[in-house]
Amino acid sequence: MSIEALRTPDERFSLLPAFPYEAHYVDNLDGYESLRMAYIDQGDKNSKTTFLCLHGEPSWSYLYRKMIPVFTVAGYRVVAPDLFGFGRSDKPTNETTYTFDFHRNSLIRLIERLDLNNVTLVCQDWGGLLGLTIPMDMQKRFARLLVMNTAIPIGEPLSDGFKK
């Protein structure tokens, strides 16, 4: 299934202050084959711990520009994706595409594709609403949580507002 989307040209991000991070892209996530997701991947790729930094709305991986160097200097790997619709990732044009499951499942596919393990989930705002639901389904991949300015799901089904 092809999803119509807009793509922000890379040069639009070339002069950002304090953000020297090269974008990596994955454009063939299962179920998202027509979309390109951007992510930052910094630090030691052989580190036993990966910090997975999930942004909220209306932010993108730029949010973590001051935390990334702290984590990498300590010897850790940092992966900070841009959710679809944000930052350097593709932006679907049909607003009905943007559902909770659309974002959550894209994160799961990215974690699988990058084979992230011993993950410390760092989440803020919507990154927490989405991200805090994932460790229960991928328990062997997650080790720790660093939770900021978000809500913690309590195990009840999604309300209609989240489903739409």
pLDDT tens, position by position, 102-129: 999 999 999 999 999 999 999 999 999 9
Q: Burial letters for 70-89: b for 16+ Cβ neighbours within 10 Å, e otherwise?
A: ebbeeebbbbbbbbbbbbbb
Looking at residue 33, what is its pLDDT? 93
* Ordered domains of the chain (ranges, CATH): 24-150+159-163 (3.40.50.1820)
**Can you list the residues of the chain whose pLDDT is less than 70?**
1, 153, 155, 158, 161-164
pLDDT of residue 163: 60
Q: E strands of 11-141, at which residues?
A: 24-26, 37-43, 50-54, 77-81, 91-92, 119-124
Cβ–Cβ under 8 Å, residues 120 and 95: no
AA letter at 156: E
pLDDT of residue 158: 66
